[in-house]
Amino acid sequence: MKICVAQLNYHIGNFESNLKKMMNAIEDAKSQNADIICFAELATCGYPPRDFLEFDDFIRLSNESIHQLQKMSHDIAIVVGSPSKNPRAEGKDLYNSVFFLYNGEIQHVQHKTLLPTYDVFDEYRYFDPADKFEVVSFKGKKIALTVCEDIWNIGNENPLYTICPMDEMMPHKPDLMINVSASPFSYSHAEERLHILRCNANRYKVPIFYVNQVGAQTELIFDGGSVVVSPDGVIYEEMSYFVEENKVFDLESVIRGGVKKEQPKDKIKDIHDALVLGLQDYFNKLGFAKAVLGLSGGIDSAITLVLAVRALGKDNVRVLMMPSQFSSQHSLDDALVLAEKLGIYYNIIPIKEMYDSFMIHLQPIFQDAPFNVTEENIQARIRGILNMAISNKFGNILLNTTNKSEMAVGYGTLYGDLCGGLSVIGDVYKTDVYRLAAYINKDENIIPQNTISKPPSAELRPNQKDSDSLPEYDILDPILYKYIEECKGPDEIIKEGFDETLVKRILRLVNINEFKRHQTAPVLRVTSKAFGVGRRMPIVGKYLS
């Protein structure tokens, strides 16, 4: 038996495009004499569809895609994820289902059992869990069909759940398992995924065909990396990351095992590739073509620019350089060097006269009040207005260049440098921004060395440095990581050796700046806990404030 794993990039609600991709993959699989082709979780409609699932017409179109796929199933079996109606009066209206199509008919439907409701997932809002566990027989083999999270409760050891779907299916003695998934990327998730798959194979002693989708859906990036596992727990093959790929496997060869092919894992390379894909799909799927950003000569805007050029092409990216009286000449020079190196279009618009005009008109109100963050924010907001003017006039989507460290502690100006249609590096800590710069420069000096080596500064007042307001990033970032990703409170962090006063100050900054994050652009997710849908904090709260 030959099984094709089809790792495709779907588009939420674009039924025509999704169906066409699957039909093309089916023809390709047929040409290779595949017996079964497997598509991802909710492949007909794209994942995660969220409240689109509440529209009857959305479900009708999903069902129509299933009917069209049925017509192509006479020479090949098709395994595909799609929502399905719950016929019972009680419970949610829908199931998250995997269909087995063959000979023009729906041979079997298995519903998802474990419905994650944590981090970026909210499936129990829409779906009812399965209560029946059966296998499907095909060409002399019994196949267990599972959906994504269903394999993440091995032997009922996951405290989030009280049932293990594969344990329920094992009395039927399946010969193999097919898991259809939509598993979003974070830089640590690939290893976790392989571990879970090995554990499943070791427990159930069956080969596993795990198909994951690829591509970005707003802030969520899906990395692909579909996996075939032999019954002895050896990774027979791990497919490519961040690209579409169809591959046919011989079941008997997988059962025999003996081949181990895992993709290399490199945190910074994977973050780089994920962000490029996230940018590409955000623009392509929304019908955007061109981007604009403010290029300051600092490392954050430099990294964002390189990623944008790699994702969209140099002809589709432009920048504004907006020096003030506080900007250093070397920052402008660094920005010019990078723009010319990349071959992009740029404009230089000094903002001193605009700033002075604001000060003249505000002087009767401000009178002799000393210079403070107010004047700094006015500069940032002037730049935001100029960037948005280019965006409005020419249709270039403004890219936000704020990193995760700054976003965490509120080191940014609403309606100024926090403007943008997409936050590119808002889930990348500053220390990893420097590592990204080193990765970008590994073969060629693209980002000027001075941009990397100089002390980071917003340059909004004379001789300003980030360290005037914040601890050094190699101290700040570990504290932020423990609070945001690991959900540790102040006492736990302090016990690990961090300064008590500093910890309480940093955590307070994170909490009191929640209102800013609620007003910023969607953030491309590359860690296990990004700002946005996966981290839901109250704006008004007393904890640590």
pLDDT for position 157: 87
Secondary structure element (H or E) that encloses residue 16, with its range: helix 15-31
Burial of 245 (0-12, 13-18, 19+ CB in 10 A): middle
Same domain for 510 and 365: yes
Same domain for 293 and 249: no
Look at residue 540 and tell me if it is in a domain. no
pLDDT band at 258 (very low <50, low <70, confident <90, very high): confident
Same domain for 190 and 77: yes
> How many angstroms from the chain centroid is the CA of residue 354?
38
Same domain for 309 and 238: no
Per-residue tokens: 283: 């623009």
Look at residue 439 and tell me if it is in a domain. yes
Q: What is the mean pLDDT of residues 509-521?
A: 95
Same domain for 338 and 237: no
Residue ranges of alpha helices (H) inside 158-222 are: 165-169, 189-204
CATH number, domain with residue 409: 3.40.50.620
pLDDT band at 89 (very low <50, low <70, confident <90, very high): confident
- 148 given a catalytic annotation: yes
CATH number, domain with residue 198: 3.60.110.10
How many domains are contained in the chain?
2
Same domain for 276 and 256: no
pLDDT band at 466 (very low <50, low <70, confident <90, very high): confident
pLDDT band at 458 (very low <50, low <70, confident <90, very high): confident
Look at residue 536 and tell me if it is in a domain. no
pLDDT for position 20: 98
Same domain for 146 and 82: yes
- Select which of 4, 21, 38, 41 is catalytic: 41
Q: Which value, to the nearest 10 degrees, does the dihedral of the CA atoms of residues 144, 146, 151, 153 take?
A: -100
Of 242, 265, 288, the domain-final residue:
265
Report the distance separating Cα 31 and Cα 183, nearest Å.
29
pTM (two decimals): 0.95
Of 265, 287, 316, the domain-final residue:
265
φ, ψ (nearest 5 deg) of residue 165: -55, -45
93 Cβ neighbours under 8 A, 6+ residues apart: 85, 86, 126
Look at residue 65 and tell me if it is in a domain. yes
Q: What is the DSSP string of 475-540?
A: HHHHHHHHHHTS---HHHHHHTT--HHHHHHHHHHHHHTHHHHTTS--B---SSS-SBTTB---SS
Same domain for 296 and 380: yes
- 430 given a catalytic annotation: no
Report the distance separating Cα 415 and Cα 519, nearest Å.
9
- Select which of 38, 45, 148, 419 is catalytic: 148
Q: What is the mean pLDDT of residues 273-298?
A: 97
| Mean per-residue pLDDT over the chain, rounded | 95
Same domain for 292 and 259: no
Residue ranges of alpha helices (H) inside 313-372 are: 329-342, 352-366
- 41 given a catalytic annotation: yes
Residue ranges of alpha helices (H) inside 429-484 are: 430-440, 449-453, 473-484
Report the distance separating Cα 333 and Cα 330, nearest Å.
5
Beta strand pairing status for 136-138 and 141-147?
A: antiparallel
Look at residue 30 and tell me if it is in a domain. yes
Same domain for 242 and 205: yes
Look at residue 530 and tell me if it is in a domain. no
pLDDT band at 545 (very low <50, low <70, confident <90, very high): low
Look at residue 539 and tell me if it is in a domain. no
Residue 351 · residue 382 · CB < 8 Å: yes
Report the distance separating Cα 512 and Cα 116, nearest Å.
29
Quickly count: other Cβ atoms within 10 Å of residue 395's Cβ: 11
Of 8-22, 112-126, 171-185, 531-545, the least confident = 531-545
Which residues span the domain enclosing 27? Answer: 2-265
Of 232, 265, 298, the domain-final residue:
265
What's 529's DSSP letter? S
Report the amino acid identity of residue 269: K
Residue ranges of alpha helices (H) inside 287-328 are: 299-312
Long-range contacts of 87-94 (CB under 8 A, 24+ apart): 88/128, 91/128, 92/124, 92/126, 92/127, 92/128, 93/126, 94/53, 94/59, 94/126, 94/127, 94/128
Q: How many percent of the chain have pLDDT more than 90?
A: 90
Do you find a cis peptide bond into 48, omega within 30 degrees of 0?
yes
Residue of 362 and 458 predicted with greater confidence: 362
Same domain for 29 and 108: yes
- Select which of 21, 112, 482, 529 is catalytic: 112
Look at residue 542 and tell me if it is in a domain. no
514 Cβ neighbours under 8 A, 6+ residues apart: 537, 538, 539, 541
Same domain for 308 and 198: no
User: Tens of pLDDT along 126-177?
Assistant: 999 999 999 999 999 999 999 999 999 998 888 889 999 999 999 999 999 9
User: Tens of pLDDT along 400-448?
Assistant: 999 999 999 999 999 999 999 999 999 999 999 999 999 999 999 999 9
Tell me if residue 397 falls in helix, strand or coil: strand
φ, ψ (nearest 5 deg) of residue 278: -60, -45
Report the distance separating Cα 474 and Cα 17, nearest Å.
45
> How many residues are given for the chain?
545
Bridge partner list, 5: 38, 247
User: Tens of pLDDT along 4-26?
Assistant: 999 999 999 999 999 999 999 99
* Lookup result for tokens 């903002």: 351
Give which of 430, 418, 408 is closest to 510, Cα–Cα.
408
